[in-house]
Structures are given as structure tokens and as C-alpha cells.
């Protein structure tokens, strides 16, 4: 379909395709330990299943709800190829994350899919506790996960990936009521950029997952029937591709799951030449 947003690739994807398929041998994660935070549902669950399909030796699932984590675990174990563990943890509680990190041990891929969207409201009338929960989950949560898990990353083969929402291209006037979600997700993306700069032995990048009908999507007030929705397999499979050497040029950057990866690879030198796909002001007004 025609890209609905500014797009570096001519092709805009709404569903998975061969280049990011977990059946591609180039994307195999055989023998690797994968951690999925938020693995109990939605994008997190599909991501966990994707890495298991791609041959992960072990998938560790983190989330706040034991029931949904166990549901994902059973789906993974039914394949008979990948072991799975579940760890109930709160992103804002360092003790629970540190306990999970100790239990999992050394890891190769960590995907942070958890996030929170507060109830849409103008800033003056927003519920303060709910509004701030977006920052506690999306920003403080990223901080706590990094502190707990980076020390046990594989010394040369680790990938730390985050699901964000690259809203920097969209004017606030089109997102009225979503100040908590938009601002916290933009801040989260910047934290990941710092993690990339500060940890040169770890591949760090983020992904805008597209339009997926998750709990957060429903909290925004969005209506699936009126939007160009994407399949949940699209971001899950894109994340698998991001963990591969093919995506090395995206280190410290944010990609959209809708972008065609072969076309992205074709322009990697152009991307690496500047600040493309990073958060913040890219162009300033020029004086005469």
C-alpha cells in the first residue's frame, strides 16, 4: 500500500514476508537465550513464539501476570524444541527484575515490549497518577531493565531491543489527549539511544511496531476498523530480523516494522551518514 507516513522505503508492509520470516536460516537463533519482557500477550507473546520458532534454546518470559505468562509458555513448550521459564516482575520494581535476571543468567537477546498508555485526556484535566504511570512504565521501566539485565548480557553477541512508538514525525495537534504516552515513548527512545552509546558491545535499537490492536491501542481510543492495521506477526518477525547481523546498521536507531528490510539495507550507507532514525530535532531554521 501507499505509505501513510514519510517513509525511507518505497514499500510499506502490513504483514510479514519472506525476508523477516523465522524460517529463514540466516535469522536462526539456535542455541541462544532470549528474554521477552511483556511476553504474556500481544506483541510480546508473538515475539516469544517467533524466537522459539527460529530455534531459541531458551525463552524467558517476564510480565506482571502469571496466568498469561504461563499461557505463552505452554504455546512455546508445545513445539517441543525450546525450553521456557516464566518470571513475574514489575518494570518499576528493581528487586523483581534483579531476581529474574539472576534466575535467567547470561542472555543473547532481550526484547522489551511492555508499555503503558494512560487514559486520553488534556493535561489540565488528566488524572495525575495515571498520567505519570506512562513515564514510570515506559521510561523508568527501561532504566530498571537496563540496570538489571545488561550486566549479564553475552559479552559479544547481545541484542537489546525495545518496542517504542516513533511519534516524533506526528504533530501533537493530531494526538491531542495522548501527552503522557507520546512524551514518555519519545523519552524512552532517547534512553535507548544512550544505552547504545554507552554499551558498545551490545546491539541496541528500537522499533515502532505499527498499528497493532493491543490493550494500549484500545486505550488510545483508536478504532481498528478505521485505520490501516497491521498483523501482530509483522513487528514480531521484524524484531527477529533486528537481532540478526543484517540489521547492524540500525544500532542506536529506531525503525518502523512497516519498512521493507531489503530496501532499508540498500540505503544503509545513507542512514549511517547522519542522524537519520534517531529522536530529536534534525533540521533547524537557517539564518540569512
Q: So what's the pLDDT on residue 72?
A: 97
Span 146-182, pLDDT tens digits: 999 999 999 999 999 999 986 666 788 888 889 999 9
Q: So what's the pLDDT on residue 285?
A: 74
Number of H helices, E strands in the chain: 10, 7
Split at pLDDT 50, 70, 90, the class of 46 is very high
Give the separation between CA 71 and CA 167, rounded to whole angstroms. 32
Assess contact for 85 and 61: CB atoms under 8 A.
yes
Q: Which long-range contacts (CB under 8 A, 24 or more apart) does 181-184 make?
A: 181/116, 181/117, 181/118, 181/134, 181/138, 181/216, 181/220, 183/134, 183/135, 184/134, 184/135, 184/137, 184/138, 184/139
Split at pLDDT 50, 70, 90, the class of 88 is very high
Handedness of CA 7, 9, 11, 14 (dihedral sign): negative
Which of 165, 179, 184, 244 is the catalytic position? 165
Q: So what's the pLDDT on residue 213?
A: 64
- Give the CATH H-level superfamily of domain 18-272: NAD(P)-binding Rossmann-like Domain (3.40.50.720)
Split at pLDDT 50, 70, 90, the class of 5 is confident
Q: Find which of 103-117, 162-176, 274-288 is predicted with most confidence, using mean pLDDT.
A: 103-117
Q: What percent of the chain has pLDDT over 90?
A: 77
How far apart are the two ends of the chain, measured CA to CA in Å? 40
pLDDT for residue 220 is more than 80: no
pLDDT for residue 99 is more than 60: yes
DSSP-based three-state secondary structure for 138: helix
- Range 230-259 burial, b when 16+ CB lie within 10 A, else e: bbbbbbbbbbbbbbbebbebbbbbbbbbbb
Which of 32, 133, 185, 190 is the catalytic position? 185
Of 284 and 125, more confident: 125
Split at pLDDT 50, 70, 90, the class of 230 is confident
Annotation says 165 is catalytic: yes
pLDDT, mean of residues 232-238: 97
Annotation says 181 is catalytic: yes
- Range 111-132 burial, b when 16+ CB lie within 10 A, else e: bbbbbbbbebbeeeebeeeebe
Split at pLDDT 50, 70, 90, the class of 260 is very high
Assess contact for 176 and 122: CB atoms under 8 A.
yes
- 33-37 sheet: strands from edge to edge: 83-88, 58-63, 33-37, 109-112, 158-163, 202-208, 254-256
Q: So what's the pLDDT on residue 91?
A: 93
pLDDT, mean of residues 108-120: 93
Span 186-219, pLDDT tens digits: 999 999 999 999 999 999 999 999 876 666 556 6
Domain ranges of the chain: 18-272
Q: So what's the pLDDT on residue 53?
A: 97
Annotation says 174 is catalytic: no
pLDDT, mean of residues 215-239: 75
Which of 181, 184, 190, 244 is the catalytic position? 181
Residue of 68, 106, 102, 98 lying closest to 86 (CA atoms): 68
Amino acid at each position: 500500500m501507499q505509505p501513510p507516513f514519510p517513509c525511507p522505503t518505497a514499500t510499506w508492509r502490513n504483514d510479514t514476508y519472506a525476508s523477516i520470516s523465522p524460517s529463514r536460516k540466516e535469522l536462526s537463533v539456535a542455541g541462544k537465550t532470549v528474554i521477552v519482557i511483556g511476553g504474556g500477550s500481544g506483541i510480546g507473546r508473538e515475539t516469544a513464539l517467533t524466537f522459539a520458532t527460529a530455534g531459541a534454546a531458551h525463552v524467558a518470559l517476564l510480565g506482571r501476570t502469571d496466568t498469561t505468562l504461563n499461557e505463552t509458555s505452554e504455546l512455546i513448550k508445545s513445539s517441543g524444541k525450546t525450553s521456557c521459564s516464566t518470571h513475574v516482575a514489575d518494570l518499576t520494581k528493581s528487586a523483581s527484575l534483579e531476581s529474574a535476571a539472576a534466575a535467567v543468567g547470561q542472555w543473547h537477546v532481550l526484547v522489551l515490549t511492555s508499555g503503558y498508555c494512560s487514559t486520553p485526556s488534556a493535561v489540565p484535566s488528566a488524572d495525575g497518577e495515571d498520567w505519570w504511570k506512562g513515564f514510570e512504565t515506559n521510561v523508568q521501566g527501561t532504566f530498571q531493565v537496563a540496570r538489571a539485565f545488561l550486566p549479564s548480557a553475552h559479552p559479544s553477541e547481545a541484542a537489546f531491543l525495545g518496542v517504542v512508538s516513533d511519534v516524533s514525525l506526528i504533530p501533537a495537534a493530531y494526538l491531542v489527549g495522548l501527552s503522557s504516552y507520546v512524551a514518555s515513548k519519545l523519552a524512552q527512545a532517547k534512553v535507548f539511544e544512550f544505552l547504545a552509546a554507552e554499551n558498545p558491545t551490545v546491539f541496541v535499537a528500537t522499533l515502532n511496531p505499527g498499528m497493532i490492536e493491543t490493550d494500549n491501542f484500545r486505550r488510545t481510543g483508536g478504532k481498528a476498523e478505521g485505520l490501516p492495521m497491521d498483523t501482530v506477526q509483522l513487528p514480531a518477525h521484524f524484531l527477529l530480523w533486528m537481532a540478526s547481523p543484517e540489521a547492524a546498521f540500525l544500532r542506536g536507531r529506531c525503525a518502523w516494522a512497516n519498512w521493507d528490510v531489503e530496501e532499508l539495507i540498500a540505503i544503509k550507507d545513507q542512514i549511517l551518514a547522519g542522524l537519520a532514525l534517531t529522536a530529536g530535532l534534525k533540521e533547524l531554521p537557517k539564518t540569512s
